[in-house]
Amino acid sequence: MQQSVLTNDQVLLLQKERDVLDETYSVLARFPLEDGSINKLKQAIAQLDELFLIVIVGEFNAGKSAVINALLGAEILEEGVTPTTASVKLLRYGEQIGEQVIDDGFTVVNFPLDLLKEVNFVDSPGTNALNREHERLTMDFVPRSDHVLFISSADRPMTESERQFLQSIIGWGKKVSIVINKVDILENAQAVEKVLNFTRQHASQILGFEPEIFLVSAKKAQKAQHATEPGEKQQLREESGIVALENFIKNTLDDKSRLHQKLLNPLGVARKVLESANALNSTQLNELSAEIELVESLEALINKHEHDLRLELPPWLAEVDNILNDFEKRGLDFFDSKLKISNIFNLAKPDKIKLEFQDEVQADVASEIENKVRELIDWTVDKDLELWYRIAGDLERRNEETKLLAGKRSVSEQTERRNELINKASQSIQTVVSGFDRKKQVEELGDLVQDSVAKTALFGVGAAGIGVLVATVITARALDITGIVSAGTLAVLGLFVIPYKRKQAKDNFSERMAEMRASLRETLNKTFKAEFAQSVARLRENISPYTSYVHAESAQALQNQSTLAELSQKLDALNKEINAKI
């Protein structure tokens, strides 16, 4: 049994499978899988490290440890007439001889034997040991085996406890071979034949097939180990039956169908766990669909609201422009009607001209602008409130739906977190809406607009003083002709001075009106857009814990979907490669 069991290509394929399964385990371990699925995958991966695992079972004192020592050609395990194996002992390769007690029921035995680099042996407690825990350990370890060697004793073959044990392992589908040890104590060939037939008959009835049965004398094999002559050593080993058992085990482990099945089994476990993870992820995506739809709807509403505000602001500002345009037209008409030779004596009375300007031109322009800005403020506040009410309703409906669903079925940790966040978001929006003071909001926004206008260079006295300021500035510049009136002649005034002053007044007036329109428009535009942004930011801030969580969950679920699909492809490819090469 010293030759290698695996070819180089098979070793590489085994390593590749380990890598794929390790990656699969690493990914699937993040999923809250039920029924110990991830542990089953972990065990399946661990079995690759015990690829060729031969479990030795049987009653105590049947010579299990002696048979293992004989197979390995070394006295590794303790032998005796009492139950010497108190726990499961795994024999594996190790540079240094020694034992490592993992726990009360499991011990690892290291031994520098090349065969153990590829084949592990397990010596288990007896099936009829007085300590029933020993028997439990045997039953737990047998399902992990690749091959079961059942050791029976020639002096008491197929006892009742042995028959019960064989009956219990039928469902595992394990390949079982029977070793009848201590054949050296039988008197003659007829006795040997009798034991062999008795064992074959009862084992076949229990297992449903005729197992391989080997007649062995571990005692004679031990003598072979101590023999000094090579010929004597080989003869004793052949007579002991160990050589036949070695050849059988070697051929079994070399069987491609066994290796093929062994490599595919962990892939089957991985596929099953992967399907569970896919189902879980699909369920999460389905549960998220309603949340994603709501989040996208809320964000679309907010984006549309912000877009509509910005889109509808220019027409409002254009109406303010129209008020100033009418104001400018009245002013230009005023200069045309007042700055002419027939009105020469009134031009020498600036106070009277200013009063006429205020009465005929200025009129209630300041009030008109203020009223229009107030309408804009009312519109802004109402649009905001309408959106808050809309979002409050959508959140409340979804909140009630989640409460209803939570009462009908068990929910995941992620679903509970989403429900908690949507409840908080709904309560937050409801609190804002229920406590909304429209009058106060309008006043605060009005103060903000007036303060912004008052801070501009042109409007030092605020929006209410626009008309007064224009009248003062324009008339001061345009009507400075009193000195000319008292010193000049009517001809000069009529032909040159008054037309020039009229043009100058109109140009100055138009220039100042252009500055006023641009400055007022820029200030209102900037102020209201800032208010739009702040309003939208406040709204987003109130729902962001919920929307951010849903976005993060959705992104993770979609990433998981992609990752699981990639793993599925790798498992499929590995499956095909195993079928092609083994």
What's this model's pTM, rounded to 2 decimal places? Answer: 0.57
The confidence band for 467, taking pLDDT boundaries of 50, 70 and 90, is very low
pLDDT at 135: 61
pLDDT at 86: 61
Query: What percent of the chain is predicted at pLDDT more than 70?
Result: 77
pLDDT beyond 60 at 483: no
CA distance 172 to 395: 55
Place of tokens 């549309």: 304
pLDDT beyond 60 at 244: yes
pLDDT beyond 80 at 249: no
Mean pLDDT of 125-134: 61
pLDDT beyond 80 at 153: yes
The residue among 524, 546, 527 whose CA lies nearest residue 535 is 527
CA distance 377 to 362: 24
Mean pLDDT of 226-252: 82
Mean pLDDT of 155-183: 82
Q: Which tens digits make up the pLDDT trace of 542-567?
A: 888 889 888 998 999 999 999 999 99
Residue type, 86: A
The confidence band for 475, taking pLDDT boundaries of 50, 70 and 90, is very low
The confidence band for 473, taking pLDDT boundaries of 50, 70 and 90, is very low
Mean pLDDT of 159-177: 78
Of 263 and 151, more confident: 151
Query: What are the backbone dihedrals phi and psi of residue 146, each rounded to the nearest 5 degrees, phi first?
Result: -95, -25
Mean pLDDT of 171-182: 80
pLDDT beyond 60 at 459: no
∠ CA 313-316-319, rounded to 5°? 150
Helical H segments across 123-255, by residue range = 132-141, 160-168, 189-207, 218-226, 230-240, 242-253
The answer to whether 372 and 319 are in contact (CB under 8 A) is yes
The confidence band for 258, taking pLDDT boundaries of 50, 70 and 90, is low
pLDDT at 490: 46
pLDDT at 171: 61
**DSSP letters for 487-513:** HS-HHHIIIIIHHHHHHHHHHHHHHHH
Place of tokens 């825990």: 133
pLDDT beyond 90 at 524: no
pLDDT at 33: 84
Mean pLDDT of 379-390: 88
Helix, strand, or coil here: 335? helix
The residue among 109, 2, 6 whose CA lies nearest residue 51 is 6
> For 339-382, what is the HEC assignment?
CCHHHHHHHCCHHHHHHHHHHHHHCCHHHHHHHHHHHHHHHHHH
| Max intra-chain CA distance, the chain | 164
Mean pLDDT of 515-540: 86
**DSSP letters for 53-64:** EEEEEE-TTS-H
The residue among 573, 502, 3, 543 whose CA lies nearest residue 271 is 573
Place of tokens 């896919």: 278
The confidence band for 571, taking pLDDT boundaries of 50, 70 and 90, is very high
**DSSP letters for 67-115:** HHHHHHTS--S---SS----SEEEEEE-SS-EEEEEETTEEEEEE--GG
Query: Which domains does the chain possess?
Result: 52-254 (3.40.50.300), 289-544 (no CATH)
Sign of CA dihedral 438, 442, 445, 447: negative
The answer to whether 200 and 213 are in contact (CB under 8 A) is yes
pLDDT beyond 90 at 572: yes
Name which of 346-350, 380-384, 514-518 the model is least confident about. 346-350
Name which of 14-28, 169-183, 432-446, 474-488 the model is least confident about. 474-488
pLDDT at 318: 92
pLDDT beyond 70 at 496: no
Of 467 and 278, more confident: 278
